[in-house]
Amino acid sequence: MTYKSLEEAVSCTQTDQIEEASCTETQQSSKIEEVCGAILLLLLLVLFIGIPNIVAFNSEPPRTKFTIADASIVHFNLASNNTLYYNFRVTIAAKNLQNYIKSYDKATAIASYKDNQLTSVKMAPFKLSSKNTVRLEPIVFEGNNVMILEPQQLAKYNKETQLEIYNLDVDLDLDCYKVYIHCPSLRVPLISNGKVAPNFNSTTCSYKDDRW
Ligand SMILES: *[C@@H]1O[C@H](CO)[C@@H](O)[C@H](O)[C@H]1NC(C)=O
Ligand SMILES: *[C@@H]1O[C@H](CO)[C@@H](O)[C@H](O)[C@H]1NC(C)=O
């Protein structure tokens, strides 16, 4: 039996949880019979092979892979009154690694800089069909926050200002399954008028907590 059918079988058994969650995962109905048939096979297989198989399942890849595909800063300025004024945008690509449709209706993106939380932005609902990759619309973080930076952090801010590349963290709260996605240490270039800035290098996010 392949890894793929293992995932499908497990997704079928998790239907109860899925219905209660605020995001929906819709089975493609034509596949249900096939999938549930796979469960019987799987149960036999698990009995037969036992623990090693369960360990393999636990190390399966995350169900949706999130990548920061692009990011750029319009302005980023720490005023002398310890207020950070910022305007930057982040474009996320989401890849569904599973064989069923997923909808994310209440996702929130939270940006932070040197352990200080900036704004959080409610993301537009999005849907991922089976094995599909979607580039989401850019998320714009704009506002100002009072923050006290430690001397070391301030030195880093000054260095980043010189380079015109700031290290920002973005978290995604998917508001389902208590899953948080962590996209730390993004090196985001400041796109200032006329100047050629280095390209943002796309960065893969990781899962912060247990998935279930
Ligand atoms: C902080 O400084 C900025 C720029 O100098 C100014 O526009 C803003 O009003 C100040 N904010 C506060 C809360 O004093
Ligand atoms: C992207 O990667 C290249 C090559 O490693 C590097 O030279 C460049 O500075 C990186 N860009 C940013 C914005 O960090």
- Would you list the domain boundaries of the chain? 3-58, 64-207
User: What separation in Å is there between the alpha carbon of 81 and the centre of ligand 1?
Assistant: 6
pLDDT at 38: 73
pLDDT at 35: 64
* Buried b or exposed e, range 110-132, using 16+ CB within 10 angstroms: bbbbbeeebbebebeebbbeeee
From the CB of 79, is ligand 1 less than 6 Å away?
Answer: yes
Q: Whose CA is nearest to atom 3 of ligand 1?
A: 79
User: What separation in Å is there between the alpha carbon of 79 and the centre of ligand 1?
Assistant: 7
* Atom nearest to 188 CA in ligand 2: 13
Q: What is the mean pLDDT for each group of 10 consecutive residues in the chain (212 residues)?
A: 44 38 51 67 63 46 85 96 97 94 92 96 94 95 96 97 96 79 95 83 84 39
pTM above 0.85?
no
User: What separation in Å is there between the alpha carbon of 60 and the centre of ligand 2?
Assistant: 30
* Spatial CB neighbours of 12, under 8 Å, sequence gap ≥ 6: 27, 32, 35, 36, 38, 39
pLDDT at 11: 40
Domain 64-207 classification at class level: mainly beta
* Model pLDDT for residues 134-150, shown as the tens digit of each residue: 999 999 999 999 999 99
Cα–Cα separations (whole angstroms), residue 23 to 19, 57, 125: 8, 23, 10
Cα–Cα separations (whole angstroms), residue 154 to 21, 74, 123: 42, 20, 31
Using left for φ > 0, alpha for ψ between -120 and 50, and beta otherwise, residue 183 falls in beta
